[in-house]
Amino acid sequence: MSTPETTTDTAAPAEEAAGHGDLTVGVQGASGTGEATASATRITPGNALRPEDIALAVSRGTAKPSEDAAELALRLGDDALILAQRLGHWISRAPELEEDIALGNIALDQLGHARSFLSYAGGLDGRSEDDLAYFRREHEFRSVSLFEQPNGDFAVTIARQFVVSYYQFELYRRLADSTDATLAGIAAKAVKEVDYHRDHSAQWVLRLAHGTDESRARMIHGFQVIWPYVEELFRDDELTGRLSAAGVAVQPSSLRADFDRLTGEVLAEAELEVPQVQPAPGGGRRGLHSEHLGYVLAEMQVLAREFPGASW
């Protein structure tokens, strides 16, 4: 399993000329490895790790998560699932046809990651991705507040995506080195896609910040709305402590410096300040969610719950 380069300079201002105007720059972070030529958006089923492969490995017993690894997979899977559910709403409502496609792509990537993580998490007790997505109750979900935040206007969606993408990139980049081979495999695939998401959101941050007075005001507002939920992403707890000791995953707090540096570079180029807002306490990792999640789940789960046990 190859690991993308650790120097993450794709959003650095020095790269600007070749960077933000060029949608392909995002995948260059993975240069120098055998998979460097793989496209972020067109991964052939031949060498990609699909959710179905993980479900199969789990059912055959060739992949089985530890209790802690399963809990981590649940956390990351729920984050990605709820975000996919949010982003899917933009399809047919975006500002441009091109964005219907782009946001749809990002939603699809997130849904793919969610399915992989949940398939693996379910390996602990034999539950499927759909058992976990459709038949858990709200307090059993492990997503954090950021991913649950409503779409708002396009600027709020971009602000949320910007934070998510830079966080997920740092997270998956390290998780690709996990001692847990399945988590490493999921992360190695996901990091390439998330790299593209970083590029997409960074370009929009620059466009909106330097576009018109209105777009700048909306971008500033977007970050203000989203920033209270940044803190929770980097909070360590007992689980992450044990996972870190076992070499399964790093402590979330260790991602912060790179996150701050790289988002800071884009914000500086956009001539935006890091919003001075108070952090929300969160609690999603313990099942204490934002008020929004219940509605998201109600909509997502309604049909599956009308026909429990049915196959689709």
Cα separation, 98 vs 242, whole angstroms: 43
**Window 199 to 218, contacts with another protein (CB under 8 A):** 206-208, 210-212, 214-215, 218
Q: What DSSP designation does 153 have?
A: S
Residues whose CB falls within 8 Å of the CB of residue 98, separated by 6 or more in sequence, listed in order: none
Cα separation, 30 vs 38, whole angstroms: 9
Taking the least distance from each CB to another protein, the nearer of 26 and 51 is 51
> Which among 77, 93, 195 is positioned nearest to 144, based on CA atoms?
77
CB 297 to another protein: min, Å: 11
Number of H helices, E strands in the chain: 11, 0
Residues in the chain: 312
Q: Which residue has the tokens 């380069």?
A: 5
Q: What DSSP designation does 144 have?
A: -
Which three-class secondary structure state does DSSP give residue 303?
helix
Q: Is 92 in the site for another protein (CB under 8 A)?
A: yes
Of residues 10, 28, 85, 165, which one binds another protein by CB under 8 A?
85
Of residues 153, 236, 258, 260, which one binds another protein by CB under 8 A?
153
Of residues 1, 23, 33, 88, which one binds another protein by CB under 8 A?
88
CB 144 to another protein: min, Å: 20
Number of amino acids touching another protein (CB under 8 A)? 51
Q: Is 95 in the site for another protein (CB under 8 A)?
A: yes
Of residues 130, 138, 258, 260, which one binds another protein by CB under 8 A?
130
Give Cα 28 distance to the centre of its chain.
Answer: 19
Taking the least distance from each CB to another protein, the nearer of 205 and 250 is 205
Query: Tokens representing 30?
Result: 């993975």
Q: Is 249 in the site for another protein (CB under 8 A)?
A: no
Q: Is 44 in the site for another protein (CB under 8 A)?
A: no
Q: Is 234 in the site for another protein (CB under 8 A)?
A: no
> Which among 128, 131, 151 is positioned nearest to 140, based on CA atoms?
131
Residues that bind another protein (CB under 8 A): 21, 51, 81, 84-85, 88-89, 91-101, 104-105, 107-108, 111-112, 114-115, 118, 129-130, 133-134, 153-154, 206-208, 210-212, 214-215, 218, 299-300, 302-304, 307, 310-312
